[in-house]
Amino acid sequence: MWLPPRSEAARQAASGMRMSVAIILGYGIATRNLSVIINAVVALAVTYLPALLERDWDVRLSPELTFVVTLAVSLHTLGMVGLYEEVWWYDHLTHTLSAMLVAAVGYAATRAIDLHSEEVSFPPRFLSLFLLLFTLALGVFWEVLEFAARQAAATLGIEAVLVQYGLEDTILDLVFDTVGAILVALFGTERLTELTEQLRERLAV
């Protein structure tokens, strides 16, 4: 299938990042680092999610959106081999990207329901507020998951799969989750029109 140059470049970049995640997985296996292995396996699975959505649900993500999905999980996986500790802004970057994806999914799904059903109507201001609250809610859930993973690892005497660095880190994570949601609300909704329409069509089936 022919793709515009930009889309083809995004597809090739996503493939390259998938390969980098596989390399990090190999590193984790070689060093017997459980946290790297688990995070890399999950990230690798996520990189194949767009293809599964297209095959099983007939929902096609744009090459650009697929690139962002792959970039987010690739950067997270790379962070597990030291960048989270060594680069002070790295965690902020990954949280912003992840929050943008969460907000994008929340917006597309909610807007699709709005277009599909005549019984509900979501004004633009409500959608903007929903984006923020939805993203923050999942951000809080993730922070709780990190805390639970750390406590479980401490109890079992094993290395934590997810790491939490304290209350200040949690607050900063939520701040950058908010930044990601705001970026989508301001600049990303028009780019999600095609995905929204595909979801609306799925609801009509």
At residue 6, the pLDDT reads 62
Q: How far is CA 143 from CA 7, 95, 147, 150, in A?
A: 34, 11, 6, 11
Q: Is residue 61 predicted with pLDDT exceeding 80?
A: yes
pTM confidence score = 0.87
According to the model, what pLDDT value does residue 25 have?
95
- More confident position, 6 or 104: 104
Q: Is the pLDDT of residue 2 over 60?
A: no
What is the distance between the alpha carbons of residues 24 and 77, in angstroms, rounded to a whole number? Answer: 7
Return the axis-axis angle of helices 49-57 and 34-47, rounded to nearest 10°. 40
